[in-house]
Amino acid sequence: MPSPAMLMHLLLDAATRREQARVPEPTMAMTDAASTEAFMMAGREDGLLAHTYLYHAIQASTVIAPGARVIDLGCGPANQLAVIAQLNPDAHFIGIDASDSMLALAQETLQRCGVCNVELHKASIEALSDMNDASVDVVISTMTLHHLTDTAMLDAAMREAKRVLKPGGGIYIVDFGRLKREKGQAFFANDRKATQPDIFTQDYYNSMRAAFSLADMVNASGIFGAAVGIKRTFLVPFLVAIRSTHNEPLKDTSRRVAKTLYAALSARQRRDFRDLVRFFAHGGFALPFKPW
């Protein structure tokens, strides 16, 4: 359950009318060695983000049909992609990232996790020049959009996603939404400060400041028309998901792997996972399968 301090920040943000200006990331691609290393370590099986990655892997799996060809926009060190690929071993994944250092870490992650159904390519998500029209069955992206410079680039990335996606294809794109209060952003970035590197805390804060507003996300998703719906966390758009309106049945393999990965989480990670499930569910986005 949320702490009293977190609940206070959520309520204050929900009650605030004036939106603060977006502050873009210092650089579009994460290239600093210390930052990329901290982000990679946070996403490992024993890291701060492991429960988040399992949650999104289960949600994303409901738009991935057996044998699908899936592109991951902004795969980073592939911690998230590796989990989704493990839940869907019969699908083929293409991880896209603009950072050489991230792609090198991604290759290490895939090898460490024994994932063989992923290939990696260097490209910017708003300019997928090497990808043919209607060449993939599913587009996924997690926590990448806030790295884009402005709404024009956000719109360009959505146009490219639609271009490479086959008609009727699956979509799962999720990122931070911009909170209205800077104090709320600082609270979330520093909530686990004692357990994370200082550089990760700063990057977290920068990411929240660079998040697009809920209105920006709604407008950008309009290119997909009625094929997608917008989902958000309870009270405030701390996280916003652009998701296909149709569901694929969650495969038995996905359920089995999800249960195994959930059981391997620490007690604290499992609590964080269930809190995230409730945070989205109270906002109208239920998890289709609970691995506990």
Q: Using alpha carbons, select from 147, 109, 131 the residue that is nearest to residue 24.
A: 147
Within a domain: 143:
yes
Pairing of strands 228-232, 165-176: unpaired
Within a domain: 276:
yes
The average pLDDT across 92-118 equals: 95
Domain that holds residue 173: 4-281
- Phi, psi (5° rounding) for residue 265? -70, 155
Q: How far, in Å, are 9, 17, 54 from residue 6 at the CA level?
A: 5, 19, 22
One-letter identity of residue 84: I
- Rounded to an integer, what distance in angstroms lies between the CA atom of residue 210 and that of residue 25? 6
pLDDT greater than 90 at residue 273: yes
Q: Give the model's confidence band at 248: pLDDT under 50 very low, under 70 low, under 90 confident, else very high.
A: very high
pLDDT greater than 60 at residue 42: no
Q: Using alpha carbons, select from 121, 116, 105 the residue that is nearest to residue 44.
A: 105
Query: What's the CATH code of the domain at 231?
Result: 3.40.50.150
- Angle subtended by helix axes 79-87 and 50-61, to nearest 10: 40
- Rounded to an integer, what distance in angstroms lies between the CA atom of residue 204 and that of residue 105? 19
Q: Using alpha carbons, select from 174, 208, 211, 207 the residue that is nearest to residue 84.
A: 174
Within a domain: 290:
no
- Rounded to an integer, what distance in angstroms lies between the CA atom of residue 38 and that of residue 30? 11
Within a domain: 289:
no
pLDDT for the residue 33? 61
Q: Give the model's confidence band at 121: pLDDT under 50 very low, under 70 low, under 90 confident, else very high.
A: very high
Within a domain: 264:
yes
pLDDT for the residue 36? 65
Structure tokens at 39: 């982000």
Helix (H) or strand (E) holding 140: strand 136-142
Helix (H) or strand (E) holding 56: helix 50-61
- Rounded to an integer, what distance in angstroms lies between the CA atom of residue 153 and that of residue 199? 26
- Rounded to an integer, what distance in angstroms lies between the CA atom of residue 172 and that of residue 32? 28
**Percent share of the chain, pLDDT over 70:** 93
Within a domain: 291:
no
Within a domain: 14:
yes
pLDDT for the residue 1? 63
Collapsing DSSP to helix, strand or coil, 157 comes out as helix
- Rounded to an integer, what distance in angstroms lies between the CA atom of residue 290 and that of residue 283? 17
Number of C-beta neighbours around residue 219 at 10 A: 15
pLDDT greater than 80 at residue 2: no
Within a domain: 287:
no
Q: Give the model's confidence band at 13: pLDDT under 50 very low, under 70 low, under 90 confident, else very high.
A: very high
Note the pLDDT tens digit of each residue in 51-95.
Answer: 999 999 999 999 999 999 999 999 999 999 999 999 999 999 999
pLDDT for the residue 43? 53
- Rounded to an integer, what distance in angstroms lies between the CA atom of residue 184 and that of residue 274? 22
Note the pLDDT tens digit of each residue in 137-160.
Answer: 999 999 999 999 999 999 999 999
Which residues touch 189 (CB under 8 Å, ≥6 apart)?
Answer: 201, 202, 204, 205, 208
Residue that has been written with the tokens 């920068």 in this structure: 206
Please provide the average confidence, as pLDDT, over all residues in the chain: 93
The average pLDDT across 190-195 equals: 89
pLDDT for the residue 195? 85
Q: Give the chain's domain count.
A: 1
Half-sphere exposure (Cβ direction) of 87: Cα atoms closer than 13 Å: 29
Number of C-beta neighbours around residue 109 at 10 A: 23
Q: What are 136's strand-pairing partners? A: 165
Lowest mean pLDDT among 29-38, 154-163, 191-200: 29-38
In this prediction the pTM is 0.94
